[in-house]
Structures are given as structure tokens and as C-alpha cells.
Amino acid sequence: MSQFNEGFSLAGDVPWAGLNPGAEYGPAKRWPPERFIAAARQTQQKTPCRWLIFGGPSDVPVAAQLAESLARDFPSAPPLNLAGKTSLRELCALLKLCRVLLTNDTGPMHVAAAVGTPVVAVFGSTSPELTGPGLPGDPFHHLLKSDAACSPCFLRRECPIDFRCMRGIEVGCVVKTTLEVLERDQ
């Protein structure tokens, strides 16, 4: 059953962008929350947008962390935290409204691609060639990975080394890519 409150309006002057900081199959697939915050903050500073934060019930704490930080930085255009509150049908409709989805390798990444929303996805322990949306070389989606020699390891648990596959994906690269997508069709 949905917990989504249909009483708010998604109308506005700025485009919606999506953030999906979770990943069900373990922490090795999750870009650090502080990097999601930094990327969202820098993106919103450079172009008008407002964030919809997505995630399942287990992502509620990290989504709240992102929402609180971004609301402090952008009180006139705070994010809308929908983690744990949408049905699959609502998720599809909301992702369709987004100009881009910044995400880990996870289910909502594939849903966004299926409804025609461009994806900027970070990959660490998984392979964009195997689990990324679209076809190889597809310019519509942007699949980012580091050059860590140990990636992809396909681990689901904590990294036994130093999480270099995800820490090697720089915030600046993610911001640049996200901005390119947001500005592409203006």
C-alpha cells in the first residue's frame, strides 16, 4: 500500500531531478551519501532544479540525511523525500517527471530507463556492461565507474579493501555529467 501523499503539487518553474541513494544488495553497491549530497548541492547551485529523493523502506535513513542537508541549503526549493512512500506505479510516474535520475545500480535505475528518463548511474562492485540500462555506447544514459583494478568484484557486503571503486568516482565528474543531461534539452 502506498504512503504517498497526493495532496502536494509537482508544478513549478524548475525541472525535477531524481536522487536514488540506496541499493538493496549491499553496501558495496552504494556511492557514499556525502557524495550524493555534494553532487546534488553542486548541481542545484549551477542550474535551477529541485530534487525528488527515491528509495525503498530500507533507504529511509539515508534519504532523510540527503533531504535534511539539501533543505538547509535550498530552503526556497527543498527536495521532496519520497523514500519508502511510493508504490511501483507512483515511482514510474514520478521518475517520468524527472529530467535525470542520479542513482546507484539498482531497480529504480532500470525503471527510470524504462519510462524514458536519462540515468546517471555510479557503478562500483557491479558491471555497467552487465547490469546497466540501455545498450553499450548508448548516449542517453551515463554509466560512471572508476578504474579500480578490483572492480567489478560483485561483492554485496562491505568492501574488504578500501572501497576504491566507489571512492574513485569523483563528485565533479558526476556533477558535470548530471548538468550535461539537465541542460541538454532546455
Of the candidates 56, 31, 50, the residue with the CA atom closest to the CA atom of residue 163:
31
The side-by-side arrangement of strands in the sheet containing 80-81 is 80-81, 50-53, 16-20, 101-104, 119-123, 142-145
Mean pLDDT of 3-19: 71
pLDDT, mean of residues 78-85: 96
Q: What is the mean pLDDT of residues 124-146?
A: 83
pLDDT per residue as tens digits for the range 22-73: 887 767 788 999 999 999 999 999 999 999 999 999 999 999 999 999 999 9
| Position 1 pLDDT exceeds 50 | no
Q: What is the pLDDT of residue 146?
A: 84
Question: Quick check: 5 pLDDT over 90?
Answer: no
How confident is the model over 149-169, as pLDDT tens digits? 767 767 777 767 877 778 888
Separation CA 129–CA 59 (nearest Å): 25
**C-beta neighbour count of 157 within 10 angstroms:** 10
Class of the CATH domain delimited by 16-184: alpha beta
Distance in angstroms (rounded) separating the CA atoms of residues 71 and 58 = 21
CB distance 126 to 25 below 8 Å: no
Beta-bridged to residue 145, according to DSSP, are 123
Average pLDDT score over the chain? 87
